[in-house]
Structure 1
Amino acid sequence: MADSRNLHGKIELRRSITTSAFTMIALVAVIGLFSLFSIWSIDRAWTRGTSETAELQDLSRAALDSQVNFKVQIQEWKNILLRGDEGALLEKHFASFRNHAQLTRDGLAKVSSRALRLKLTTYAEQADSLSLDHAALTARYEAALAEERGTSRTITPEMASLIDKTVRGADRALEAGIGKLSQDIAAIADERRAALFVSMQDRYASLRWFIVGIIGLSLAITAYVLASTLRATRG
């Protein structure tokens, strides 16, 4: 009878140890698989998020470059009025004026296409609108110059004064608009970068507490197995 009880106790002990071992293996497997998936998911989200914010920053810089080129274009316009009484200088600054006008148009076109790719339709439309305003303003400058200059190779200070009165201050709204576009896109980049950091912290916290919980459960199972083993050996 005693032998039967001992045999039964040993069987129960083995069953308890085997079940606990399988449970521990399963928990370790769950920890490993979940941790690997979480790390992959966090890395993927981080890579995608940083790539997106980098693209937004590049987009903001492209708009800023357009603003810089427009400022240089306006500076060359002023040089035309200041130095236009010399034919060579007039042609030099007028060529630079046109070159920077083209660079400004190209920059705004780049902003528009990139904004569309990033699904920022509003900013693409703003870039297109600014580009149209820029083309109209450039044409206005050239028309004012051509009207006063006529067939002359130079412009006199009197001509320059009349031309300046015609278009004075016409560039301010456009320059401000391009600058605001750059600032607005930069603000979105900052917002998304901040949101990315918060998201990564939340994911990390979830992973940490999950692993802590599994470790706690594993320790509880280990304590239960040890207690069962001690009871069985005492019996």
Structure 2
Amino acid sequence: MKGGKGISVRLYGLIGFIMIFILIITSFSWMTFKDFNEKHKSRLQITAEYINMVDETRQAQVDFKKQVQEWKNTLLRGHEPEAFKKYYSQFSKENDNVKSQLLKLKEDMAKQGMDTSPVDTLLSNHKELYDKYSKAIKSYDPNNIESYRIVDGLVKGIDRKPTDDMDLLVKQIQDKAKLEMEKMIKQSDIDAKNFNRNLMYILIFGIILIIFFTVLIISTYKGITKFIEQFKILMEQAENGDLIISGKIYKKDELGEVTERFNRFIDKIRDLIYEAKDTSITVSASSKDIMRASDQISTSAEEVAGTIVSIAENASKQVELAEQSDKAVHGVVQGLNIITENTVYISELANKAMETVISGTTSLKEQGDRMTNTKKVSQNVTDVVSDLSTKSNEIGKVVEFINQITGQINLLSLNASIEAARAGEAGRGFTVVANEVKKLAELSKESTQRISSLIEEVQDDIEKAVDEVTNVKESIEEQETSLELTDNSFNLIQHSVFEMANKIKEVADETKGISENAASVEKSIKNMVTMIDQNTSVTEEVASVTEEQTASIEEVASSMNHLAEMSNSLCESLNKFKV
């Protein structure tokens, strides 16, 4: 399962929908309130303008009435110049006020798109009224009380038309303002209805989204709950050592991906346990093979030791025989001296010499046979040592194989630690197994290193034994050569003794030569004794080396026995898991 993003898509979608919904609601509310505010502001402004126009028309109406009143005050109270001037000035001022008010009203009506012709008519009538007033005032005489009646008669009734027009204009503006107010109220009601309708749509849409989000959250929560309950059961089974478990994938989302990864992790742990079991069985079998090889090597070493002991015993016998030969030759020398001093006893000494020669010949033959046996034994020792060297090399290969197995176990423990670390709390139990496997690998590595060092020592000792056996072989060959010389010498002595009876006259002349030959023989025998002593010491050293080799092999066997016990312990630990 690759790229399962169901939960994240749902959650991110939920967050996105909520943000979009909030953004839409906020934007709509902001735009709606802004539009409502603008419309309300516009309506208030229009209302204020209409109210202002109404106020302006009323103010113009009031100023016009003041103008008419000031005109009456001028006629009624303007008998004195100051009073006339005062009232007439106020009349002119109010006329200007009315004019300016009407012009301002015309401008405001034009802004509102209203018909300004009534204002133009009113301005024209007001100007005509002022002109008539101004023309009529010229007939006013402050000193003539009756003159105001003349002036009043000139302008009588001319203010009715502007006044009616002013009232009509006020009524028109009031009606227009009222009409616009009603339109704005209706439009406000329409806007309120639209706003309420939009709010209802948003409310319905929000309820639908809430239901959708609730269903989405409940579905996601149920999936998470199923995953947690299943994962709890799986972890309890894994904690009890059951590795044949497998999680069920409900949906192809993150939880399904976690379940699939957990299944792959369990499969890897199961394969790791299988490999560990196979490795422990292989280590145990290899340990047993090494123990059997060690037993064979130990047996071979014991045989070599026995053979070397036999060689040492034969060498001791050779020393005794050589000493006897030395004594015999010494007796020959004494006999020759006696022959030189007294030839009377030549016959008796010849018989003794014959017996001595016969005994020496027999001894030399026995010594030759024993030397042959010694040579064969030495060859056997060489073969055994060579075989021992070959087996030690095989042990070295087995140890190298164990080292490779140890490296694999260590690698397996590292992989198990990595997988357990990925699993977090769920892989804590497997971390303990990985640590135990790692400790076992370290102990196996230490044992194999110890075995390797012992095998190297054994190989060094074997090489020394081979060198010493080679020296023994060379010594035996030299000893064989000396025996051949001794045999030849004894043959000469025998031949001389046999001829001694016939050549008794030549005894005196030959005695000197015989004495020299006997001295040479005695010297050769002494050399042979020395060589045999050397062979004896070398054989003892070979026996000592063989004993050390046997002790080393016993240590190897002990280490392999310990390794086998540890392998069995590992098998027992791994058997706790159901795979």
Larger CA deviation: 172-181 vs 135-144: 172-181
Match of 1:145 in 2: 137
The one of 152, 156, 168 equivalent to 1:164 is 152
Match of 2:201 in 1: 210
Mapped partners of 1:196, 1:23: distance in 2: 38
Match of 1:78 in 2: 72
Is 2:107 the partner of 1:116? no
Q: Are the counterparts in 2 of residues 27 and 214 from structure 1 also a CA contact under 8 Å?
A: no
Gapped runs of 5+ residues in structure 1?
none
Q: Secondary structure of the residue that 1:119 maps to in structure 2?
A: coil
Offset at 1:227?
Answer: 4.5
Is 2:93 the partner of 1:105? no
Match of 2:117 in 1: 125
Match of 1:33 in 2: 27
Q: Are the counterparts in 2 of residues 53 and 193 from structure 1 also a CA contact under 8 Å?
A: yes
Q: Secondary structure of the residue that 2:146 maps to in structure 1?
A: helix
Q: Are the counterparts in 2 of residues 84 and 156 from structure 1 also a CA contact under 8 Å?
A: no
Is 2:172 the partner of 1:184? yes
Match of 2:63 in 1: 69
Q: Secondary structure of the residue that 1:157 maps to in structure 2?
A: coil
Mapped partners of 1:224, 1:191: distance in 2: 53
Match of 2:192 in 1: 201
Q: Which amino acid aligns with 1:201?
A: A
TM-score, L = length of structure 2 = 0.35
- The 1:83/1:65 distance shift into structure 2, 3 A limit, reads same
Mapped partners of 2:194, 2:183: distance in 1: 12
TM-score, L = length of structure 1 = 0.81
Larger CA deviation: 22-31 vs 128-137: 22-31
Larger CA deviation: 158-167 vs 73-82: 158-167
Gapped runs of 5+ residues in structure 2?
227-249, 251-579
Larger CA deviation: 75-84 vs 206-215: 206-215
Q: Which amino acid aligns with 2:134?
A: E
Kindly tell me the number of residue pairs found equivalent between the two proteins. Answer: 223
Mapped partners of 2:196, 2:169: distance in 1: 37
Q: Are the counterparts in 2 of residues 53 and 189 from structure 1 also a CA contact under 8 Å?
A: yes
Is 2:214 the partner of 1:223? yes
Offset at 1:15?
Answer: 4.2
Offset at 1:34?
Answer: 1.4
Mapped partners of 1:133, 1:107: distance in 2: 15
Mapped partners of 2:7, 2:85: distance in 1: 100
Mapped partners of 1:216, 1:113: distance in 2: 53
Larger CA deviation: 100-109 vs 210-219: 210-219
Q: Are the counterparts in 2 of residues 63 and 182 from structure 1 also a CA contact under 8 Å?
A: yes
RMSD: 2.7
Q: Are the counterparts in 2 of residues 62 and 107 from structure 1 also a CA contact under 8 Å?
A: yes
